[in-house]
A and B are shown apart, each in its own frame.
Chain A
Amino acid sequence: MSTITHTRAFNGRGVLAIFRFEMARARRTLWQSLVTPVITTSLYFVVFGAAIGSRMSEVDGVPYGAFIVPGLIMLSLFTESLSNSSFGIYLPRFIGTIYEILSAPISAFEMVLGYVGAAAAKSVILGLVILATATLFVPIRILHPVWMLAFLVLTATTFSLFGFIIGIWAKGFEQLQFVPMLIITPLTFLGGAFYSIDMLPGTWRIFSLFNPVVYLISGFRWSFYGTSDVGVGISLAATLGILALCLALVWWIFRTGYRLKT
């Protein structure tokens, strides 16, 4: 038997092992991971883009079909990041294989990097696939591709972190579904995914400003068309703010061993 004489300060191989494991899980369920969201998105195009869009010509000078693309991508990004990441950490807790992760020479940060990194990577790929699907329906131009990617990666990371928290908090499979279904989907629909919040009556518009999703979608749409509901600086600040909040929560989870260790 070999003797491990020195221990590295960063277990990169461990991170990679978790990352690969999670990606392999997605490959096995490729149908759910990619095909389902692509089909769902296409249906949105048929309903919103073609049926409604034909009556709604333009929003902020952008054809309606094109206008909803960033919102649609964000909607999928939210739900897929959440479900991928929450399931990824909940499953080992549920079937007990978490024992191996907990007994491995891997830090909390590295563990999060593996799980959240994989979930975020899957979501970014998914977002790009949806974008590609969208170009089949409507012509799309991207004014600020670097910012577009930045918002995509930031949002995927934030929601994957959020999903990780849910996966650790959840006591059952129903609870895994709970947050995406009851909170994220309504917030997204009310968050200007399919319209500009300027189109809302006064009080609703003010209400909307308390919906964090508005800032995420607005910033992302700005990177496409240069128009936005709120200033792009505010969008970016809000995105980073939510990211920081999730990071703080994850940090607390590992500090206290909450629902991971007894």
Chain B
Amino acid sequence: MDRVDPTAVQSVISIAGLTKTYASGLQALKRVDLEIRRGEIFALLGPNGAGKTTLISIVCGIVTPTSGQVLVDGHDILREYRATRSRIGLVPQELHTDMFETVWGTVRFSRGLFGLAPNAAHLEKVLRDLSLWEKRNDKIMTLSGGMKRRVLIAKALAHEPQILFLDEPTAGVDVELRRDMWALVRRLRASGVTIILTTHYIDEAEEMADRIGVVSRGELIVVEEKTALMKKLGKKQLTLHLLEPMTAIPAALADWNLTLNNGGCDLEYTFLSSDEGKAIPALLRRIGELGIGYRDLNTRQSSLEDIFVSLVSERA
């Protein structure tokens, strides 16, 4: 059995050797190790069926792990489930809501279920933060999909969790609500809540996350600070718009990773972001020496999306 490293005290969640094999025989998680830092926003990325929801469900107590250990704030999720679950709020991927209950009724229920004394002021604040206050007496089934998503978030926040799991919170949500949610997530983080979210919108992870984990086929293939990840794996591209079209790349430039595009009018140079600072000046100097003229130049940085796609397809 894998044991969590007891020295990892900084972590609010420690996952060690976590494996899940479903009854069907499908191995959804393969020895996953992960440390979530207190107070961070952690984005879990990965294609459909990678195992993101399975991972979250195990930490929250909905799915039983096959092997491995998970500690939440130092408590074991199986033996000390009361301590771990009372710290966690979960917004599930699917819109699982009651139908006939009112919004107010359902958030009250959630708070009670987690063992907390009623606190109308807190619930009011949560509903106001999510623009649900006006709807508090409405039956949930009369709400739109985006509104139901907010109700699920309100339920997850009703018991004042220290850790919030958001499983694709912005799926099927309009642009405005997405912005609202991002703002809410930032406010929660500012108040000390640790947030773990999954998303298929890479720009969302790019915008929000402190750290990023990429899951592919049940394995955690990368865990990295967002900025470091983009720096390490990101590529940059320099494009020179030439004065005179070229038919072939001169042999004197063979040392650089160059391609000719746009009928020989554009010379493109691709390099790792980490080489930034030495690559471009050297190339431009060489080009000057060769007397190649250019009208204009621009650089482009690959997005997290490019990085993600190349990471996942590498494994496929």
Contacts and interface: CB of A to CB of B under 8 A. Distances in A.
Interface of A: 1-4, 7-8, 11-14, 16-18, 20-21, 24-25, 28, 95-97, 99-107, 257, 261-262
Contacts of B110: 100
Nearest to A256: B64
Given A7-B82, A7-B86, A262 B64 contact: yes
- B82, B84, B191 — most chain A CB neighbours (10 Å): B82
6 contacts: A7-B83, A7-B86, A13-B117, A104-B113, A105-B83, A261-B62
A97 B115 CA distance: 18
Nearest to B80: A7
B160 A1 contact: yes
Contacts of B271: none
Contact of A105 (B86, B99, B108, B191): B86
Nearest to A114: B113
Interface in B56-87: 60-64, 80-87
Contacts of B98: 95, 97
Interface majority SS (helix, strand, loop, mixed), chain B: loop
B90 A17 contact: no
Nearest to B105: A24
Contact of A102 (B62, B111, B161, B193): B62
Interface residues of B, number: 43
B96 A97 contact: yes
Nearest to A25: B100
Which of B64, B90, B110, B114: most chain A Cβ within 10 A? B114
A104 B63 contact: no
B243 interface: no
Given A1-B161, A95-B98, A102-B60, 4 more contacts: A7-B80, A21-B109, A100-B96, A103-B88
A226 to B, nearest CB: 45
Contacts of A12: 115
A60 to B, nearest CB: 47
Nearest to B83: A7
Contact of A17 (B88, B97, B109, B191): B109
A257 B64 contact: yes
B246 to A, nearest CB: 60
A242 B61 CA distance: 31
Given A102-B62, A103-B85, A103-B90, A1 B191 contact: yes
Contact of A96 (B84, B96, B109, B193): B96
B116 interface: yes
